[in-house]
Chain A
């Protein structure tokens, strides 16, 4: 690299100005200075371009440093720009509010890179997904399909720029079509009935290996309902994507739209009015309260205590109505746009919100007394599904799952966004790592959120709620992360001319799921459902089934509700 010298001086400048861990990391990286092409710092991100050969060495060096974890990895097709595929490994330094982004360019004719999965276990799915979606080869590891279905055509990597969404729909011929032809059926509806039917609670499939009543090992299979949302986002305008992002999750959608907007704002240096930041925080905390109340209800239901479930959801209902009052919708609030929010909160709404918060605080306190704190419930929760701190760190876990194992990590404090820097709050952590610890983290957090909301509503500054005067500059990198009820959500975005060039979404369950087999090992079979639920899994799903019309040779997706409607008609 010719310009190596000039860039290196920039690199030493970064390390001189940085605090400990980032500085240490950079000095470790500089051991390989022949293969470090450039280092630049902007908006809480340190971008480090490195040669692919040194990636495992770098990850190895980072593993020794404490307090650095893999947050996400984005693979991007940049053949049109520079003739390469590029991998962006995003490492977070919690204590220093900084993201280290390692950028590895892979020549298009030879997209190969050494694996890092033996050094960093959290990278496993990221590598498999990059292999599926872009055809990147990771050397020295077993590669298999993770995201794409088994009947997906070979060598078609959907995130490559040459495939449009409509082309992909034409290319994908589900096996069901062949089978329908074989049996000569005219109009076939395939209904997958089995352990991972999407209409069940969540499209998850765990294989539990048991000896007697004890679980010996567990294996997870997922990605039944991959929707290709990242690809869809590449064809939408900047202000349309928040509405798509919000539909990634049915429970914590606002975290995704916020995360997306923050990524764009970070990439393009857009100033967001303070009032908008407060409104985002208010809605995010309301969302957390309703999500935790939902979870507590489901947990009680799994324990066979349906009265507690009903009462938890009764309290939650008031929060749902409040959310509708403040945003216009019970869920998928639809008020986030790049540069701010679309709905304001007036004094009347603040008054009503405080009434609801008072009610929820009192009622939830009573509910905890009569449900979670009773001996029968604690006996089921205590000591089951234990996740040791070491494993939590090794797997780069996030959210209440991490905090239940004593890993004190919270995006609201560590990578401040929205209005969290204006309020004081505690991050509850428990060191036991069992189901009780994770439950108590959520209970405590609910009260913390209520407390935070009083502060936010009280301090709500005046001013505008939206900055509309921003313009796009293509090919800039932005990161937006939000502490969702289930853990951190992180969006990495590369701007394009009219739409995001590449938009990478990572939901908390993606990071936390690999911890479930560890929790399940050695527990009683009866505790398995609650243990699985204890990470509050969210598989980002919508229920879709496939209709195959053999005559016309078309495949279309229809909502599962439509199928059940047909059943109702048949009865009539």
Chain B
């Protein structure tokens, strides 16, 4: 029984280990990865983050003329792969972990982009911002090509080479 009693000096020396959250020092270290934050000014809507996101917490959808990059923190596993992948460095990993809410809509955040419509078929195909970005990086693409969706672009290029097919 005597051996058990040795816990008393240990307990006295240790004292209280719990802290008065949230009034005392932060609970997390400097390396902690919490929820992400997407800078709508930097984001171009390329969708690279949605393709790497393991739990599919990031999704890219198009509703009428708006492209929506949606972040659902409820699915997020806080791995930060999106931030590693983002070519525009638009995603920041924050230390935010107090994410509980009574309203599920608080768990969604959207970044909206204007979409481009194809000048031939009228389909929406990419965000205006991404298109502009490409145009500025690769200056010799003709503007009319930039306005075409991938399908029409292929057809138009083919036409240039082999002429218009007879109906």
Please report A residues at the B interface, Cβ cutoff 8 Å: 236-237, 239-240, 243-244, 247, 307-308, 311, 314, 317, 321, 324-329, 332, 334, 342-343, 366-367, 369-370, 373-376
Q: A328-B33, A370-B10 are in contact. List 10 more A-B contacts (CB 8 A).
A: A237-B51, A240-B81, A311-B14, A314-B17, A328-B80, A334-B77, A342-B84, A369-B3, A370-B4, A376-B1
B77 proximity list for chain A (CB < 8 A): 243, 247, 332, 334
Minimum CB–CB distance for B115 against chain A, Å:
26
Give 14 CB contacts A-B under 8 Å.
A237-B52, A240-B52, A243-B55, A308-B7, A311-B11, A314-B17, A321-B29, A324-B28, A325-B31, A327-B31, A342-B80, A370-B6, A373-B3, A374-B3
B78 proximity list for chain A (CB < 8 A): 328-329, 334
Please, how many angstroms separate the alpha-carbon atoms of A504 and B77 in the complex?
Answer: 23
Q: Is B108 an interface residue, CB under 8 A from the partner?
A: no
Please, how many angstroms separate the alpha-carbon atoms of A314 and B16 in the complex?
Answer: 10
Q: Is B140 an interface residue, CB under 8 A from the partner?
A: no
B10 proximity list for chain A (CB < 8 A): 311, 366-367, 370
Please, how many angstroms separate the alpha-carbon atoms of A257 and B23 in the complex?
Answer: 36
Please report B residues at the A interface, Cβ cutoff 8 Å: 1, 3-4, 6-7, 10-11, 14, 17, 28-33, 51-52, 54-55, 77-81, 84
Given known A243-B77, A370-B6, A376-B4, contact A324–B31 (CB-CB < 8 A):
yes
A317 proximity list for chain B (CB < 8 A): 17
Q: Which residue of A lies closest to B2 (CB)?
A: A374
Please, how many angstroms separate the alpha-carbon atoms of A367 and B3 in the complex?
Answer: 11
Residue pair B17, A334 in contact (C-beta under 8 Å): no
B28 proximity list for chain A (CB < 8 A): 324
Listed from nearest, the 9 A-B pairs whose CB atoms lie closest are: A243-B54, A334-B79, A328-B33, A240-B54, A374-B3, A325-B29, A370-B6, A328-B31, A324-B29
B14 proximity list for chain A (CB < 8 A): 311, 314
Please, how many angstroms separate the alpha-carbon atoms of A240 and B77 in the complex?
Answer: 12
A308 proximity list for chain B (CB < 8 A): 7
Residue pair A334, B4 in contact (C-beta under 8 Å): no
Residue pair A334, B33 in contact (C-beta under 8 Å): yes
B81 proximity list for chain A (CB < 8 A): 239-240, 243
Given known A317-B17, A329-B33, A370-B10, contact A334–B3 (CB-CB < 8 A):
no
Minimum CB–CB distance for A556 against chain B, Å:
14
Residue pair B32, A328 in contact (C-beta under 8 Å): yes
Minimum CB–CB distance for A127 against chain B, Å:
32
Q: Which residue of B lies closest to A345 (CB)?
A: B31
Minimum CB–CB distance for A423 against chain B, Å:
24
Q: Which residue of B lies closest to A565 (CB)?
A: B102
A243 proximity list for chain B (CB < 8 A): 54-55, 77, 79, 81
Q: Which residue of B lies closest to A236 (CB)?
A: B54
A367 proximity list for chain B (CB < 8 A): 10
Please, how many angstroms separate the alpha-carbon atoms of A405 and B44 in the complex?
Answer: 60
Please, how many angstroms separate the alpha-carbon atoms of A328 and B11 in the complex?
Answer: 30
Q: Which of A236, A327, A334, A343 has the most CB of B within 10 A?
A: A334
Please, how many angstroms separate the alpha-carbon atoms of A239 and B54 in the complex?
Answer: 8
Please, how many angstroms separate the alpha-carbon atoms of A326 and B33 in the complex?
Answer: 11
Minimum CB–CB distance for B72 against chain A, Å:
15
B51 proximity list for chain A (CB < 8 A): 237
Q: Which residue of B lies closest to A308 (CB)?
A: B7
Residue pair A326, B7 in contact (C-beta under 8 Å): no
Partner of A324, one of B4, B32, B54, B79: B32
A327 proximity list for chain B (CB < 8 A): 31
Minimum CB–CB distance for A549 against chain B, Å:
18
Minimum CB–CB distance for B27 against chain A, Å:
9
Minimum CB–CB distance for B162 against chain A, Å:
32
Partner of B54, one of A244, A342, A369, A375: A244
Q: Which residue of A lies closest to B30 (CB)?
A: A325
Please, how many angstroms separate the alpha-carbon atoms of A250 and B113 in the complex?
Answer: 38
B3 proximity list for chain A (CB < 8 A): 369-370, 373-375
Q: Which residue of B lies closest to A327 (CB)?
A: B31
Please, how many angstroms separate the alpha-carbon atoms of A376 and B7 in the complex?
Answer: 15
Given known A314-B14, A369-B3, contact A334–B52 (CB-CB < 8 A):
no
B7 proximity list for chain A (CB < 8 A): 307-308, 311, 370
B54 proximity list for chain A (CB < 8 A): 236, 240, 243-244
Please, how many angstroms separate the alpha-carbon atoms of A317 and B29 in the complex?
Answer: 13
Minimum CB–CB distance for B109 against chain A, Å:
21
Q: Which residue of B lies closest to A329 (CB)?
A: B33
